[in-house]
Amino acid sequence: MSRTITFLLVLFTAGFLACKKKSAPVVEQPKTVTLQSIRLNGVEFTNSILYGAPLQPVLRLQFSQPLQRSSIATAVKLLTASSSEVSISTSFQNNDSVLIVQPSAPLTALARYQFVVSSGLRSASGGNFIGSVDKSFITQIDSSRKFPTITDDELLTKVQQQTFKYFWDFAHPVSGLARERNTSGDLVTSGGSGFGAMAIVTGIHRSFITRAQGLQRMQTIVDFLKTKAQKFHGAFPHWLNGNSGNVIAFSAKDDGADLVETSLLMMGLLTARQYFNGADAAETNLRNDITALYNAVEWSWFRKNNEQVLYWHWSPNFAWDMNLPIRGWNECLITYVLAASSSTHGIPKTVYDNGWARNGAAGFVNGNQYFNITLPLGSAYGGPLFFSHYSFMGIDPNGLSDAYANYEVQTKNHSRINYQYCVANPNGHYGYSDSLWGLTASDIPNGYTASSPNNDVGVIAPTAALSSMPYTPVESMKALKFFYYVLGDKLFKEYGFVDAFSLKQTWFASSFLAIDQGPVIAMIENHRSKLLWNLFMSAPEVKSGLTTLGFSSPHL
């Protein structure tokens, strides 16, 4: 009996355990999820940033597992550049393993957005998201016209008139001189003020102001330079206080004369002198005052003990410590021309040949081809475009030549090389094209640089293409129309075009600089009428100086 009971107990226990084991639920382990691919409107989003995205982009994310739908709201974000959230809609495909993300409304053109998938994403089984998504894209250009269409001639006038306001409305109220930039307060710039004098002449010519208004402003400027502005051996500093005329140091030891800035100032003043040719006392006195300022510059003294070169700086506190000889090729041809033109403190041709031209040595003479275009002078690809603008706001390069170059070829080919480089766009900067080009010195995000094909940071300066109008009229006009009609809502402001911009970085400067606004108005005028070229080249001193240096020109 005991054996039977024992046997039955064993059977019962085994059966009970078997039933218990059979009924236990199977617990599935959570499966982690990974991203397999991400596409924006069918384009593989492999890089950290994608350019030219449509305003209503569709992001398609393929995952290794179905997703937990409830985790999407907190894990998936579309953010603006200022980190504000953009409203999005989401949908699913392929058994929830494909996530479709779209903005709920069209995005802003030429704006940067950040698409993020955080670690809060979960698989349908509750598994963690292994990895992360942090992608940025920049939306496409809005090609709609921002301003009504006008004729090309009207457009050139509009740009000149708006740019003119920088030198007229924004000029320093006491001295009449040009502020360095639109945030400079009382700080004025001597070279930029020379450009301002040329802008005033252009403004009268284009009827933006009357001759009497222009004469009065020039009298204010010249009287300030004559009676208040600090001078050093007749030369002006780079920066001045527009109220007192006292020097403002440009850098630690640059607190005295700047011969290059002085030459840009004198170029503008001599151009104005040639324009105000009336026989009345007011215009006669203005001409005499300008001539006296020019004759007072001791150009030859800046040879520093009669060396065969001119020096850029001299300081009453640091003497020649800056020790920067003015050698070409760069923007400083005007300095040697005006030094040779002086009847009171002139330099001989040997200083030009040995100092500026280095007797035709490498670094001055080039002769190589870039994009099948020969560059007579300068560094590879020609350097920043202001090299072909500053001196040639007054000096007419057409038909101008000397022992070293044909300057019509130099300026035109330099501009064409710069254009072709931007079209080729070897660095792949977003937006560069035959309508969007021009590398020169300008503001850049968080700084300033002299952009060129050898220093291309993805920043375009409108002054580069626009001031090349006499050299590349077709290419420059195409750029002008793009800047104005397509990007005008971002670029064309109270004083003309802003200093620079980068579509790559969706950055648009808020600044205006005298040395960039000045060439725009002046070189467009030289393209249209040759007004400033004809005036400056008519100065008898300039004719004499160019002849002394061995130049030939139709003006001589």
Give the pLDDT score at 47: 84
- The first and second tokens of residue 197, run together, are 């004098």
Q: Are 45 and 38 contacting, i.e. CB atoms less than 8 angstroms apart?
A: yes
Q: Where in the chain is the domain with CATH 2.60.40.1220?
A: 35-139
Determine which helix (DSSP H) or strand (DSSP E) holds 265, and give its type and residue range: helix 259-275
Give the closest residue to 310 by CA, choosing from 248, 358, 368.
358
Whether cis (ω within 30° of 0) applies to the bond prior to 168 is no
| Fold (topology level) of 152-548 | Glycosyltransferase (1.50.10)
Q: Are 335 and 310 in contact (CB under 8 A)?
A: yes
3-state helix, strand, coil in the chain (%, to 5): 40, 20, 40
Give CATH 1.50.10.140 domain extents, the chain: 152-548
- The answer to whether residues 323 and 261 touch, using CB atoms and an 8 Å cutoff, is no
> pLDDT per position in the chain (556 positions), as tens?
454 444 444 444 444 444 444 555 656 689 999 999 999 999 999 888 999 999 999 999 999 999 999 999 999 999 999 999 999 999 999 999 999 999 999 999 999 999 999 999 999 999 999 998 999 999 999 999 999 999 999 999 999 999 999 999 999 999 999 999 999 999 999 999 999 999 999 999 999 999 999 999 999 999 999 999 999 999 999 999 999 999 999 999 999 999 999 999 999 999 999 999 999 999 999 999 999 999 999 999 999 999 999 999 999 999 999 999 999 999 999 999 999 999 999 999 999 999 999 999 999 999 999 999 999 999 999 999 999 999 999 999 999 999 999 999 999 999 999 999 999 999 999 999 999 999 999 999 999 999 999 999 999 999 999 999 999 999 999 999 999 999 999 999 999 999 999 999 999 999 999 999 999 999 999 999 999 999 999 999 999 999 999 999 999 9
HSE at residue 506, side-chain half, CA atoms within 13 A, is 19
Q: What pLDDT score was predicted for residue 19?
A: 46
Residue with tokens 């393929």: 62
- Can you list the alpha helix ranges (DSSP code H) found in 140-189? 152-168
Give the separation between CA 146 and CA 175, rounded to whole angstroms. Answer: 37
Are 134 and 49 in contact by the 8 Å Cβ rule? The answer is no
Strand pairing report for 49-53 and 133-139: parallel
Q: What's the CA gap between 456 and 300, in Å, rounded? A: 37
Whole-number Å distance between alpha carbons of 53 and 111: 10
Say if residues 219 and 244 touch (Cβ distance below 8 Å).
Answer: no
Q: Report the alpha-carbon distance of residue 214 to residue 211 in Å, rounded.
A: 5
Q: What is the pTM of this model?
A: 0.92
Q: Which two tokens stand for residue 258?
A: 């700047």
Q: Report the topology of domain 35-139.
A: Immunoglobulin-like (2.60.40)
The single-letter code of the amino acid at 519 is P
